[in-house]
Amino acid sequence: MGILIDRDTKLLTIGLTGKQGSFHSLQLRDYGTNLIGGVTPGKGGTVHEGFPVFNTVDLAVRKTGANAALIVVPPHEAADAILECIDSNIELIVTVTEGIPLHDMLKVKTALSRSTSRLVGPNSPGIITPGESKVGIMPGHIFMPGKVGVISRSGTLTYEAVYQLTKREIGQSSCVGIGGDYLIGTDFIDCLKLFSLDEGTEAVVMIGERGGTVENEAAQWIKNNFSKPVISLIAGVDQGKAVSYGHSGAGILVEDEEELATAKIKLLEESGISVAKTVSEIGEKVAEVLQKGGR
């Protein structure tokens, strides 16, 4: 049973008939996701790749009972698509679109605060409950069911961490890519709260980046509220100074931020979190922590 999705989740793809929407929707269907239709304005009433297409999210929800949506549309259209999902009371909205304008995301954040909807992303690879369902663009074949949760700001590093775990036959309960843009919906602490309540999760991998302070806030929350072992990585610390990341949430790093990244790792360790020094150590570190039965 996943923390956000399972085999009963009813999904819509917003942007179903586009190239990316079509490709990833078929991947979702083949994985076993309960994809029940899509939305493309102007193409309502048609059938695309076997899925019914609707003009609006509201109509799609009323006709299908959908409770989740995957946003696969260009950046200038994405905020309106998210807002339409919020207005239609969609419970879970996953947005893979990258680079949504900040002024658009401010409107989204305001709407979210007044709703019961949860947004994952933007710039998210998605969510997966291995063996049951996935919503997003994650390569399903590298995942295996198990008891380790994964939360990450980076899609690529999510895949690398999961590959290392699966290779060691350490399965995953749920994996969430929270997104790399500056303004996102669900953050580390939101996911940690869900994992803390999930009986199927025994440990959590948390992958952060050098820029920002979200990892610091998560470390403090873990220290005071989270009893399960946590293994973390701060990506890019071993790459030298003045590293530029594509993620707008990571920013462009300058020399004095090298010290801030080191301080971030120190805070994680002081909070009882096991920290992998490099990407290649993640699987080994998780195996060690699980063998010891704690942090």
| pLDDT top residue among 235 and 59 | 59
pLDDT digits (tens, 9 = 90+) for 46-99: 999 999 999 999 999 999 999 999 999 999 999 999 999 999 999 999 999 999
> Is the CB of residue 214 less than 8 Å from the CB of residue 208?
yes
Confidence at residue 252, expressed as pLDDT on a 0 to 100 scale: 44
Categorize the per-residue pLDDT at 295 as very low, low, confident or very high, splitting at 50, 70 and 90.
low
- Say yes or no to pLDDT of 214 above 50: yes
Average pLDDT score, the chain: 93
Residue 1: pLDDT over 80: no
Percentage, residues of the chain above pLDDT 90: 86
Instruction: Choose between 139 and 212: higher pLDDT.
Output: 139
Confidence of residue 254 (pLDDT cuts 50, 70, 90): very low
More confident of the two residues 95 and 295 = 95
CB 188 within 8 A of CB 243: no
Which of 148-162, 172-186, 202-216, 256-270 bottoms out in mean pLDDT, i.e. has the lowest? 256-270
> Cα-flanking dihedrals φ and ψ of residue 39, to 5°?
-130, 125
Strand 172-177 and strand 126-129: pairing? antiparallel
Count of C-beta atoms within a 10 Å radius of residue 278: 12
Map out the domains of the chain with their CATH numbers: 11-120 (3.40.50.720), 139-292 (3.40.50.261)
Q: Mean pLDDT over residues 187-210, rounded? A: 97
Q: Is-catalytic flag, 103?
A: no
pLDDT digits (tens, 9 = 90+) for 260-270: 778 899 999 99
Q: Which residue has the tokens 């004095």?
A: 256
pLDDT tens for each residue of 88-100: 999 999 999 999 9
The beta strands (E) that lie in the chain are given as: 11-14, 35-39, 47-48, 51-54, 68-71, 92-95, 118-120, 126-129, 133-136, 145-152, 172-177, 203-209, 230-235, 274-276
